Amino acid sequence: MKTPIVQENISKEKALRKMKGNALALLGFAVLLFIIAIYFKIPILQAFSEAAMVGGIADWFAVVALFRHPMGIPIWHTAIIPTKKNEIGENLGSFVSEEFLNREKLEIKLEEFNFATKASDWLSQGENANKIANLVVVNIIPGVLKTIKDEDVKRLIQVQFKEKLEGINFGDWVALALEPLQKGNVKDQLLTNLMEVMSTELANNKDLIRKKVKESTPFLSFGLADKSISEGIFNGLAEFLDEAKNPDSAVRIKIDEYVYNFLDQVKNSEEMRVKINNLILGFAGKKEVQDYVNGIWDEIKLSITTDLEKGDQSSIKNSISNLIQGFGTGIKDDPIMIDKINNFIKIDLLSVLLNNKKVIGDLISSTVKSWDGKEVSEKLELEIGKDLQYIRINGTLVGGMIGLVIYGVEQIYHFFIV
């Protein structure tokens, strides 16, 4: 499939050939008129055709001499563009840097252009925002994903995960989270609820307790002590939990005291905080946790790839498009931001351009010098050759008209003077 640029070049080549044919046909017509004039002895026609041929051939030579040697003959001062490519590049670079990169001219143009307004208007249109978003999801994001090495990303995640954990004082967090338990009735209610749950679970697992006791008692007891032991254990635990439900009981006071001491240690003891930190960091260092952290990047990458394959239904693409469109709309409705952007363009960018205008000129010059002379000549002829054929056509017609004028002046001279 031909790209738009290739298709455009083919159209330009056809148009150039057509115009060359027209100019050549007009020159051929002048030659035909000359033959007729000679044969039938028509002086005025002969004067017109002779001058037309001279004008057409001279302008053909001038046009061709810009791009190549006429008929392949290396005539002096022909094939100007390919042979003078380096000089053209230097002159073009100097011209751009001196004439275009001029403070006064650039300030006027930048003031007239109002870049911020035009850019915000363009970005706020959904179609344009979709174009940019599509460019990002089709080219940029997949390219980045292919470039990035999975091992490097996983290593970075591991390092960041470890550094972040080590930078967190979990002891402070735990102390802060448990601090409300030391105030009001929160702790009492929590302990009461906990005892209720434990009592319920104890009653629901009475048979399990009996089974465990039986498995633990000596074989020689023949099960005679199993029931007594299991009942004793069950009843003892039940009585303990029932008593612990009462906030004023001795058991509950002991539990409250233990909880209070623990909370106080968490809050005020550096040693306890270190233990808590070490406990959590030790858990984070387990292989299962490390494998989970390593799998985060795989999950992210898979999610991104799967979403991008949805095309217009991609949530990433639509989010980017909405973000761009919202950004454009936000700028358009914010005159302060428009002024800031325009001032940046006018002041900062202008300063960059002016400070580097010689570099820009040298860049243009060196770029033109690096081009192949024949290729440059062919490309320029493709771009402006069609219009240059009008020089040949005009040269033929104007030459013929001048021939008529000269012939007329000559006839008047012979009629009135000679």
* Per-residue pLDDT tens over the stretch 81-125: 888 888 888 888 888 888 777 777 777 777 777 788 888 888 888
**String of DSSP letters for 329-378:** HHHHT-HHHHHHHHHIIIIIIHHHHHHTHHHHHHHHHHHHHHS-HHHHHH
pLDDT above 80 (res 235): no
CA angle, 152 as apex, 146 and 158 as ends, to 5°? Answer: 135
3-state SS record for 182-197: HCCCHHHHHHHHHHHH
Cα distance between residue 26 and residue 47, in whole Å: 16
pLDDT tens profile 379-395: 888 888 888 999 999 99
pLDDT of residue 220: 43
pLDDT-based confidence at residue 213 (cuts at 50, 70, 90)? low
pLDDT tens profile 257-282: 777 777 777 777 777 777 777 777 77
pLDDT tens profile 318-362: 999 999 999 888 888 888 888 888 888 778 777 887 888 888 888
Q: Which of 109-113, 134-138, 178-182, 283-287 has the lowest mean pLDDT?
A: 178-182
- Evaluate whether 56 touches 26 at the Cβ level (below 8 Å): yes
pLDDT tens profile 9-57: 888 899 999 999 999 999 999 999 999 999 999 999 999 999 999 999 9
Of 313, 328, 325, 330, nearest to 129 by C-alpha is: 325
How much is the average pLDDT of 202-206? 76
SS3 at position 279 = helix
pLDDT of residue 45: 94
> Crossing angle for the helix pair 150-166 and 287-308, nearest 10 degrees?
130
Question: What token pair was written down for 10?
Answer: 């083919």
Cα distance between residue 138 and residue 154, in whole Å: 24
Cα distance between residue 259 and residue 249, in whole Å: 15
Cα distance between residue 161 and residue 26, in whole Å: 81
How much is the average pLDDT of 142-153? 83
Task: Decide: residue 377, CB within 10 A, 0-12 exposed, 13-18 middle, 19+ buried.
Answer: buried
pLDDT of residue 391: 92
Cα distance between residue 128 and residue 132, in whole Å: 7
pLDDT-based confidence at residue 151 (cuts at 50, 70, 90)? confident
Cα distance between residue 403 and residue 45, in whole Å: 9
